[in-house]
Amino acid sequence: MTEKFKILPENVGMRLDIFLLEKMPDCSRSHIKNMIEKGLVSVNEKVVKKAGTILKQNSSVSAEVLQPEEISTQPEDIDLNIVYEDGDLLVINKPQGLVVHPCSSTKSGTLVNALLYHIKDLSGINGQLRPGIVHRLDKDTSGLLVVAKNDTAHKSLAQQIKEKSAHRNYLAVLEGNLKNESGTVETFIGRDPKDRKKMAVTTSGRVAITEYKVLQHFKDCCLVEFSLKTGRTHQIRVHAKYLGHPVVGDKLYGHELKSLKGQLLHAYKLSFVHPKTQERMTFEVNLPDYFENYLKKQKRENI
């Protein structure tokens, strides 16, 4: 697959590898460097093999995406909380701590491994590492995911997410209390230039739009509903930090809590049009016990 990008005024003067990191946030810096060194990246249709090439005005970049190292994905008998299933798709309530698909650091024990065990057929659009995966949740984010069983369903669901006709709503507890009761955050999100494991609000990157509404205030935190209008990596977590109120328990963008295994972020509601029946389907799931227990503790302390 070849990706093509235009150099905008704000990109002029950037290193080629940094530019591609912002445009392809799912790729690591070493992966992009490898692509460049193998001659898979061109600037103005000329192959460039130096990662530090400085981009100029009125240029274009094309990159033939190098497939990551091959990982054998095997079926594994891992329990799944299946909320809904038919011949075209299934909706899963993913628990906190479960990685969605295999990668170089996690080669087994993922949602995909579980899906391969429980489901006979999955769409093949995303290849053998991500069969059926239309969208993702972070490892320590819990909640609803839709999985496609065939390519027709996959294309329809992916298009709905792209066109924003599929709706995803989250609940999160944020550190401190937001000044405004509701609002919209619209920024660019790209790789953090100081820490490649993190995403950050940047001057270029990709547009990210998040709507929020405060549901309840506590002494030292608040319960907030988020609605995604785009689907960038770590989007809610990055925007929460940008607002000055990181998600509680988020050790990457905020502060780790020993009483929690990860951030208090839960995808509680998912709505989309069924690819075959054209019926609008909406699913909701309750908060996990550890999330509810934290809220109960805050309510007691408010008295």
- Give catalytic residues, as residue numbers: 138
Q: Which amino acid is present at 160?
A: Q
**Residue 224, φ and ψ in degrees, nearest 5:** -130, 140
User: Distance between CA atoms of 117 and 106, rounded to whole angstroms?
Assistant: 18
Asked whether the CA dihedral 157, 162, 164, 167 is positive or negative, the reply is positive
Look at the block and give the residue holding tokens 């328990």. 249
User: Distance between CA atoms of 30 and 191, rounded to whole angstroms?
Assistant: 13
Q: For residue 97, count other CB atoms closer than 10 A to its CB.
A: 12
* Cβ-based burial of 241 (10 A; exposed 0-12, middle 13-18, buried ≥19): buried
| Tokens standing for residue 3 | 């990706």
How far is the CA of 235 from the CAs of 30, 84, 161, in angstroms? Answer: 23, 26, 15
CA-wise closest residue to 158 among 147, 142, 170, 169? 147
CA-wise closest residue to 88 among 151, 165, 159? 151
